[in-house]
Structure 1
Amino acid sequence: MKKRIITLLLLMLWAVGLLPSAMAAGAEQITVRFYDEASRSYSEPTVTDRVNLTLDGEALIPQDVPALAYYPEGSANGRTLVPVRLISEALDATVTWVAETRQIIILREESTIVLTAGSATALVDGQAVELPDGVPAGGVMWEGKESTMVPLRFVSEQLGAGVEWIGETATVAITSPTEETPGQPETADLGQITGLAFDQEAQTLTITADHTPQYRVVDLGDRLAIDVLGAVYPEAENGLTLPVESQAILSVRCYQHGDDLGYGYPHTLRVVLDLASGVSYAQYLSVSSGENQVRVTVTGEPEEPEVPPLDPAKITIAIDPGHGGNQPGAVYPDENGEDVQEKDLTLPMSLMLADILEERGYNVVLTRTGDDSVSLADRAKMANAAQAEVFVSIHCNALDRTDYEGIFTYYYPNSTRGEALAKQVQAGVVTATGGIGRGTPSANFQVLRETTMPAVLVETGFMSCPAELARLCDPDYQQQIALGIADGVEAYLKAGT
């Protein structure tokens, strides 16, 4: 109700001309839904302003959700939100999405920007920065399309670009960063790194210098970077990897940088810790310093998942019902206008599959048996802990059109056994359901990447297609899908690939 009132107020303000004239002039109104991180669901429809974009005078057109104005509650001034990948790649930056922490990591030469969905605070080169007007990054849905949106001016200016608002055409004009002639660093180096060691017993990485080190911590999700400013370590001139024995840290890599990281010193040593699956800086690591050292200590390790008792004489198959709990997955209305959540389709199909496989004499491990939130890392860990022979993740698909339907089965790139399993499962499901087979592409999905056995992810159909959604909601059709997957898994196992 509150969001509806806000929407009505915006419309009234627009009608009487109380919104900023710069935003009002030339703007087209669109209806969108904003993703709420607390409830993990989309808001009621909200009317706002569409924003046009140009880059160096050329139109910059989003593929899915358009750039738009977001009006913070209590403020009449709008902030422009734009698809993160569009603006980042236009400015020659790379984007990484870290699902577990819901972080967006933008990298461009000297700049590292970390935005957390729903948070009004960003990290810029390891330093906390408050976002203007507290407008965070987050998901937006428009006409059935979804995109992760970020504050345009903040991201653009952090990447060195210029931003200008042209009210007459409701356009944000972006100017690419200018190439500057490198000058002398602002200050001299601070000193040398004299030692770099990992203590297995203490689970501590120690960086020792001949001075009091200055450093920055850059949280990259599955990696943690420690930048030691103005520090020279000749051993890392061509890169250096330290031997590490740890459940939380996979490896430690060191690189000697010049003044390219933008800290104002001739040199910076970057130490990168590659983290194990499920390990995050916030939960499992601490960084401290004292006198001439910087120390990174493992403060905890992820708990091993519980695996039910299994018959060692039987083959074990892991089944992963996609989404669950506060992660509903795709949401589309059925023929009665009631919202159907992907998580409520994948679970019954998975339970049916488990029953079929158990009847055929297999052990079955399910990553969830109810409406539970399970991280992607924990899903893979459970399958690994059970020493499953095969891993099957079950999902439903969606697209920005209503006439496209069909079945995909994904496998991890360059996995020969994964590809063989995908082809057998795809053939089994298509045969059992009579559905349209769309192929067996490879994909770098986390549950495929981090499982140690042949793994596939089955997209059983498109919820965005009303006819296929109706079938996916039908228990008889769900049973056919489960039967087809079981037949495909058995065919793969019998082939002994």
Structure 2
Amino acid sequence: MKKLGFLVFLLVFMWSFPHIGEAATDTKVVLNGQQLSIPEEVQNIKGSVMVPIRVISQNLGYQVKWDQSAGQVNIDGEGKSIQLYIGKNAASVDNKTYSLNTAPVIQNGTTMVPIRLVSEQMGIGVHWNNSDKIVTLTSTGTSTGGGTTSDADKATSENGLALVNGISFSESRLLVTLDKSVTPKVSKMDSPNRIVVDLPNADFGGGFEQGANAEAGQIATLAVPNNENVSQVRYSQYSTDPSSVRIVIDLKKDRNYEVFNEGQGLLIVDLTANNGTNKQPDSTTGATQPGSSVGHSGKKVVVIDAGHGYQDPGAIGSQTTEKKLNLGLALKVEALLKDDPNIDVILTRSDDTFLELKERVKVAEKLNADVFVSIHANSSGSSAASGTETYYQRSSSKKLAQTIHKYFVAATGFKDRGVQYGNFHVIRETTMPAVLLEVGFISNKVEESKMMDSAKQDQIAASVVKGIKEYLGVS
């Protein structure tokens, strides 16, 4: 059963029971034995149930794009596409038009979607317990993997090209995630000093401004602030015939490196090595260094995930967007953690790029992370909604959630919404202890302003680090 089909089905199902919108927090929805997180923001507006689309995307792993100028929301997944338009009583599902009773609206920065979408051949078994208000959904062949593939990405994949889905730089390491493994050609050059990483038979995925099939020479820059070795990272579509991607690490001084290929599309160029030699893939065999340098010498590995990015802004406030808040806080957490000699910290994204949910999970899994922390800001249809909450999905993650939350909520100073179960993709599909942090409500102007304050961000970042260190048992 395709997850996009389930999304459409869930919207249709809830529309079939209008009373759910009036008492959403009393209604439980269980998919294949797992209770889904149905937020209190579910509303009944003019007789139509409205759902915050970002919450469904987080739970089910869809790629959501928001075109503000066109007032259009695009949801892509499993080779299918839904288009919704703010203020228009029509939706498009795979280029077929369906009527809506109520048009999508934006309330306090949250996109609210009317849930009358028509779908056939859902393939989901449904049981409705009216007395207990429990919806039990049972699907066959449900994919538990996450992420989405855009039409452009599918076309590129069919051409045999590897797609670059993410580029980040943290702890003097360049991380590149791809949808398949490649054998990179890495070289060091001088005048000026730089390390050049060429990825043959590769193209950019949809999470980059270049997008798939970008024109050659279109260069983007990844800032690397306060790094003693690196000034910036540049990347571009180096060639289109044959297609290849080039990534350049601009050095402040001569630096050696090692290349690690973790398999299944995770590539690391590590500048922490300083043994007088450059270690890179063998030109004949394509072999790279066995295993990663991350977590060596018994270091604990912490992966910090800044939610959303690039075309997916997350929740939209009156002054900023969620993706900016998430990244700003993640960078501050990284800065504190990397000063600890007992910890290796890795960011899933270190600038305004988009990484699919499954790619975020891949980074943590391939690096055998000890903990995974995803940072978000909340939003509600009510501007009065407020508070800090921490989510876990597996019982093995609950202690981490509780440990971080006690410091986290004290630092924000917001209402304590507690430690809660949540069925979010990144904390469900990871196998190490994993939590998702909702700092505060971007739809609440007071909390939004405080979350934008640099001093307050410093306090929050320090609290997250304190919780992580206590949980890991490092000083």
* TM-score normalized by the length of structure 2: 0.50
Q: Which structure is higher in RCO with an 8 Å CA cutoff and minimum separation 6?
A: 2
